[in-house]
Chains A and B, each alone.
Chain A
Amino acid sequence: MLPDAVTDLQSVLRHPAIWRGGALVRADGQGLPSGYPALDAALPGGGWPQGGMTELVLAQPGSGELSLLQPALRQLSARRHVLLIAPPQIPYAPAWLAAGVVLTRLVWVRPRSRDEALWAMEQGLRDPACGGVLGWLAGAIDDRACRRLQLAAQTGSACGFLLRQARSAAQVSSPLALRLAVSPAPDGIDVRILKRRGPPLPHAIRLTPLQADHALARTVPARSAAGRLPARRHAA
C-alpha cells in the first residue's frame, strides 16, 4: 500500500499546476543559454528569458556586464538584430567583433532623452526582426514602463535587458520578475540574484569568463599569438 501511495503522490506533484516552494518556476519557454552553466542552473527556464525582461544592476559601466552578456549576444546576433540603446560609452567595435558578435546586426541607438530610450526599447522588443534589446537607463523607472517593456518583449519574443546603474542594488527597484546584481570579482564576475521566480538565492554566483569561452570561441591575445607562431611552424 505504502509504495503505491508514494508514487501516487509523486505523480500528483508532477502536475504542472502544482508548485512547491523549493523549486524554480517552470518558465513559459526554454531560456536562452547564458553560456555559464552555473548561472543557467539558477535561472528559471535554464537561461535568459526569451520573451521577457531581465534587469541587471551595476555599480558602474565595466563591471563585467559585457563578459556576462556576450555569449548571449553572440547567439542572438547570429539570427536577429540586437539593439544597444543609450550605452554609457562607445561600444568598441573591434572588441565586439572579437567576441563573436555579428556587427552587421548590431545597432547602436543614441536617444536624446529617457522617454525616447524607453520608446526605442519598446519598439525593438516588439519587432520580430529584433532578437535582443539592451537598454541603459539612469534613475528610477515606474511600474507602468516596466510592464510595457515586459509586454513588448513577450509580443516580439525578444530578450530584453535593462541595465541600471546604482551604488548598491538596494537603491533601485522595479517590478520585473528577474533581477540580477553584477559586480566584478578578482577572477571573474559575481552575480547575485536579487529576484527570480523561485526560492531566493542567498549567495552570489562566481562566474569566470573561461567557463563561458571555449578555447575555440575565445580570441587569442596578440602577444600570446605572436609568441606561439614559431612553435607552430616548428611543429609543422
Chain B
Amino acid sequence: MVESTGRFDQVVHADALASSLGLRAGLKLSAALALANQLTVHRRQPAAEAALLASLAAWAQQFTPTVALAPPATLLLEVGGCLRYFGGLSSLLEQVRAGLAELGHAVRMGCAPTPLAAQWAAWLGLPPVMTAGDLPAVLAAMSIRVLQPDRKQADGLSQLGINTLAQLQRLPRGGLNKRFGPALLLQLDRALGKVADPREPFVAPDRFERCIDLDYPFEQLDVFLLLADRLLAELAAFLSGRGLGVQAVLLRCKHEGLPASVLPVGFGVPLRRAAEMQAVLAERAARFSLPAPVLAVTLLADVLHPLDGQPLSLFGPGGDADGGDASLLLARLAARLGDDAVCGLVAVDEHRPELAWQAVQPGAAGTAQARGERPGWLLPQPLPLSIRDEQPWYGEALACIGQPERIESGWWDGEAVVRDYFQARGASGRRYWIYRDRVSHGWYLHGMFG
C-alpha cells in the first residue's frame, strides 16, 4: 500500500510477506521496489477511506447517538450512557467486534474516560480504563509517540531523552511550550481531562450512496450479484444505525464508452435486513442483463423511511400466521414477473360493468359496496353472439332467466352504455351474463358465473 507525499510515493503499509523482505512503512516506493521487484502495489484512496469511515460511523450509531469521526481511521463512540442497555462493556465491545467482522473489517478498540485517551489506548491495544482516577497512571506509561509529534519535535524530544508521557509531565510547562509549541501539552491535558475536548458529533447523511470500483471489468451477472449483496449489507448496516428502512434502491453499473445501466429494485415495504433485500434482488436480477463489461457498481438509496418505533411482528415479516405480511412475497413476485404482473382488485362505484372494477396495487382497499348479482369472470371485451333459432348462441343455446337489469349510463363521457343485462343458462347448466345492446339490438356475452 503506497500513498503519494508530493515528491515521491511512500509505503504506508506492508503485509507480512513484504515485511519479511525488509519493507516497512515510510520507505520510498523506489527503495521498496529495489528490495523486492515483484511487489503488488495498491495506491491509497483517501476519498474512499473517508466514505467508508462515514458509513461505519452511521452503522455505529446503532450503539450510541454520539459518534465522532477521528480521521483517518478512528471512530469515537460515547458509550457511558448505554453500557447498561448493552449488558456491560465487554458485551458491548463484543457486539461491535462481531458486527464489524460481519462487514469484513477488523477493529482495535480502546476505552477511556476521555476521547483522546481512548484513541491512544486503542492504538496501543491497552485494556479498558474505567475511571478518571486510573487515567494518569495509564497515560504516564504511554510512549511519547501517541502525541504524534512532527519530525522536528520528535528529534527534540529524543535529544532530551524523553520517551514516555510521564517524563514529559515532569518537565516545566513553560519551557516545553516555548520549545515545542502549546499543541503538545494541550493534547496531554485533553487526554487527562484537564481541558475540555469538544468533538463535533457525526451527522449521518439522509441518503445512501456507495460505489465499488474495480480494477478489472467483469461481465458475469454472478459477480454483479456478489458485489450488490456486499453493497446491500453495507446499506443494511447504515440503516440499522439510523433506525431507518428503505423501500427502493437503485443499482448503477458503469461501463466503458457506454451510458451507465440502471437496475431499480423495489421492495414493496420499507426493509432493513440485508437478507430480505438480497432475496428480492436475486429475483429482479433474473430479468436483468449486463450490456457491457462493468467497471464500477454504485448503490443508491435516495428516500429513507423511518422504521423504528413501528410495530414489527415478533417473528419477523412473514412469520405472523394471522393476518400475515405478504409484502415481501409480493415484492419478490413483482421483481421477477414485472410490476404490472402483480396487482390487487377493487370494486368501483360505477354502473357500467366494465368500469366497476380496477386493478390496483396489492392491498389497496376500495370503498364500493357489492351491488346486484355479478359474474365471477368478466370478459376483457364483450363478445358478440350469433343468433340461432332466435336465441343467442355460445357453443349452446342460451336461454335468458329472470328479469333483465337495465343499465344506462355514461352519456356524459362519450362511452355511453344502453344495455339490458340477463342471466342466461345453457343446456349444459352453465350460467352466463349476457346483454342486449338497446342501440344496435345485438347480443353480447360479458361474463360467466363460475
Interface residues of A (CB under 8 A from B): 61-67, 70, 79-81, 87-99, 103-112, 116, 119-120, 123-124, 127-131, 183-188, 219, 221-223
Kindly state the separation between the CA atoms of A65 and B377 in the bound complex, as whole angstroms.
11
Q: Do B326 and A90 touch (CB < 8 A)?
A: no
Residue B366 is within 8 A (CB to CB) of chain A in the complex: yes
Candidates A63, A103, A130; contact of B366 at CB < 8 Å = A103
**7 cross-chain pairs, A with B, having the tightest CB-CB distances, nearest first:** A66-B450, A62-B448, A129-B324, A98-B370, A184-B429, A222-B372, A93-B357
Residues in B whose Cβ lies below 8 Å from that of A221: 372-373
B438 interface contact, C-beta 8 A: no
Q: Tell me which residues across on chain A come within 8 A of B371, comparing CB atoms.
A: 94, 222
Flag B353-377 by CB within 8 Å of A: 1 or 0 each: 1001111001111101111111111
State whether A62 and B449 are in contact (beta carbons under 8 Å apart), knowing that A120-B333, A186-B429, A223-B403 are contacts in the complex.
yes
A62: contacting residue among B325, B336, B403, B432, CB under 8 A: B432
Residues on A with C-beta less than 8 A from B428 are 183-184
Cβ-based interface call for B346 (8 A): yes
A184 and B336 CA atoms in complex are apart in Å by 37
CB distance from A107 to the nearest CB of B (A): 5
Query: Do A92 and B342 touch across chains, with their CB atoms under 8 A apart?
Result: no
Look across to chain B and name the residue whose beta carbon is closest to the beta carbon of A157: B321
Q: How many Å lie between the Cα of A4 and that of B17 in the bound state?
A: 87
Enumerate chain B residues within 8 angstroms of A89, measured Cβ to Cβ. 377-380, 447-448
Contacts A/B (CB < 8 Å), 11 sampled = A79-B323, A80-B326, A92-B353, A93-B356, A93-B366, A94-B371, A108-B342, A111-B341, A129-B328, A184-B430, A222-B405
C-alpha spacing A131/B341, complex, angstroms: 20
Q: How far is the CB of A114 from chain B (nearest CB, A)?
A: 13
Contact B362 A107 (CB under 8 A): yes
Contact of B405 among A106, A123, A186, A223 (CB under 8 A): A223
Asked whether A104 and B364 contact (CB < 8 A) given A62-B430, A129-B326, the answer is yes
Q: Are A130 and B379 in contact (CB under 8 A)?
A: no
Interface residues of B (CB under 8 A from A): 318-326, 328-330, 332-333, 336-338, 340-348, 353, 356-359, 362-366, 368-380, 402-403, 405, 425, 428-432, 447-450
Q: How long is the Cα–Cα vector from A131 to B428 in the complex, in angstroms? A: 33
Contact assessment for A90 and B365 in the assembled complex, using a CB-CB cutoff below 8 Å: no
Q: Are B370 and A97 neighbours in the complex by a CB distance under 8 Å?
A: yes
Q: Which residue of A lies closest to B329 (CB)?
A: A127
On whether the beta carbons of A185 and B429 are closer than 8 Å, the reply is yes
Minimum CB–CB distance from A115 to chain B (whole Å) comes to 11
A90 touches B379 (CB 8 A): yes
Residues of A within 8 A of B432 (CB): 62
Q: Are B329 and A112 in contact (CB under 8 A)?
A: no
A66 and B449 form a contact (CB under 8 A): yes
Residue of A nearest to B374 (CB): A95
| B contact residues around A131 at 8 Å (CB) | 324
Question: Which residues from A are CB-within-8-Å of B345?
Answer: 91, 93, 96, 103, 106, 108
Considering the complex, give the chain B residue whose CB is closest to the CB of A110: B341
Whether A129 contacts B320 by the Cβ 8 Å rule is yes
B366 CB contacts on chain A under 8 angstroms: 93, 97, 103
State A123–B356 Cα separation when bound (angstroms): 31
Residues B341 and A109 in contact, CB atoms below 8 Å apart: yes
A95 close to B375 (CB less than 8 A): yes
A130 to B324, Cβ gap below 8 A?
yes
Q: CA of A131 to CA of B402 in the docked complex: distance in angstroms?
A: 37
CB distance from B352 to the nearest CB of A (A): 12
Q: How far is the CA of A65 from the CA of B429 in the complex (A)?
A: 13
Smallest CB-CB separation from B348: which chain A residue?
Answer: A93
Residue of A nearest to B402 (CB): A223
Please give, as numbers and ranges, the residues of chain A lying within 8 Å of B337 by CB-CB distance: 109-112, 116, 120
The reply to whether B357 and A90 form a contact with Cβ atoms under 8 Å apart is yes
CA distance A236 to B436 in the complex (A): 39
Across the interface, name the chain A residue whose C-beta is closest to B369: A97
Decide if B373 touches A98 in the complex (CB within 8 Å): yes
Minimum CB–CB distance from B188 to chain A (whole Å) comes to 61
A66 to chain B, nearest CB (A): 3
Q: A62-B449, A90-B357 are in contact. Are A109 and B333 (CB under 8 A)?
A: yes
- A223 to B378: give the CA distance in the assembly, Å: 21
- Min CB distance, A16 to chain B, in Å? 27
Q: Report the minimum CB–CB distance from A181 to chain B (whole Å).
A: 14
Asked if B376 contacts A91 (CB within 8 A), the reply is: yes
